[in-house]
Amino acid sequence: MIAYLFPGQGAQAPGFLHRLGGDTPHPAIARTLTEASDILRGDVLQLDTADALTSTIAVQAGLVVAGVAATRALEEEGIEAQAVAGLSVGAYGAAVACGAIAFDDALRLVRLRATLMEEAYPRGYGMLAVLGLNEREIASVIADAHADAYIGNLNAPRQIVVSGSDAALDAVRQLALTRGARKAERLAVSVPSHCVLLEDAAARLAEAAAEVRFAAPRIAYVGNRGARVLYRADAIREDLATNLRFPVRWHDSTIALSERGANVFVEMPPGRTLTQLLSEALPDTDTNAFAVDGAPVSSAAARVRAACQRTLD
């Protein structure tokens, strides 16, 4: 059973849209880039320059485009998933892949989502990844640091991301390291995602999402907040609209996929972080990252087919 994983903000790197599918873009990728440019009314390939990626809007829109382009290309190569999950904004790509929302609607909602987040906190905020402490220990660090910070992502039992102001994150970092954290470093995210600080933005996004048509998913979709399979269109609408306000239980989401029968996981571009997390959480599971620099889509499809064959041997 194949599951697609869609990364969130922080996976981006300059040129990631240009590198999709190698030197000669797959026809499905080329068509998707053109479609996205029409939807956004601008050249989507301008979203992955180093300067552009300082914008939350460019990053989030670009990630959704990359994920959808990859799924379409793999589909034309004969690869289809039976389940999907996306971390944070990656959930929008997952929702498109499972048929819950049209690509154009997803991209417009993501642009609004990123705009609201950027307008709410244009500077002075972000996210901090802490490795080596569990959820209870991180909560204790935040409380003892008297910091205006919040748990945002639970990526692994001992890899947790904290959101807040620069000053709050500095305080959390210093105390976490003294209490045994192996590493504590800022992410390439300039807003305090997945916490109460974005409650107003989530409410406004929910109003916009209420006007968008959603459908029941064709394949399993695992949500961010509850880390469980969502079957109804309205449940996926709520998950997408509010996931910027609530912590992402990513580790639990991947466990839910595995328990459902997923045994071949494919991380959509542009990163490999989700693949690494999954390899640690489920070391006997076959994991593949679509984004292999310079490799054509046919190579990615061949790797997935080989992984599926290994599960049968």
Distance CA 197, CA 247 (A): 12
Task: Give the residues of the chain that fall short of pLDDT 70.
Answer: 291-294, 313
- How far is CA 274 from each of CA 5, 163, 277, rounded to the nearest angstrom? 7, 19, 5
Residue 37 CB burial class (10 angstroms; 0-12, 13-18, ≥19): middle
Residue 72 CB burial class (10 angstroms; 0-12, 13-18, ≥19): buried
Q: Kindly state the DSSP code that residue 268 receives in the 8-state scheme.
A: P
**18 given a catalytic annotation:** no
Residue 292: predicted pLDDT: 57
Distance CA 15, CA 13 (A): 6
Residue 211 CB burial class (10 angstroms; 0-12, 13-18, ≥19): exposed
Distance CA 225, CA 238 (A): 10
Among 310, 251, 247, 253, residue whose Cα is nearest residue 281? 251
Regarding beta strands 159-165 and 83-86, do their DSSP bridges make them parallel or antiparallel, or are they unpaired? unpaired
Regarding beta strands 2-6 and 264-267, do their DSSP bridges make them parallel or antiparallel, or are they unpaired? parallel
The residues, any chain, with a CB within 8 Å of residue 32's CB and separated by 6 or more, are 65, 68, 69, 72, 103
Active-site residue (options: 88, 190, 193, 258): 88
Q: What domains are there in the chain, each with its CATH number?
A: 2-121+195-312 (3.40.366.10), 125-186 (3.30.70.250)
Mind listing the pLDDT tens digit for each residue in 211-232?
999 999 999 999 998 999 999 9
- How far is CA 37 from each of CA 44, 221, 290, rounded to the nearest angstrom? 5, 27, 22
Residue 239: predicted pLDDT: 96
Active-site residue (options: 194, 251, 253, 258): 194
- pTM for the structure as a whole: 0.94
**194 given a catalytic annotation:** yes
How large is the greatest C-alpha to C-alpha distance in the chain, in angstroms? 54
User: What's the full length of the chain, in residues?
Assistant: 313
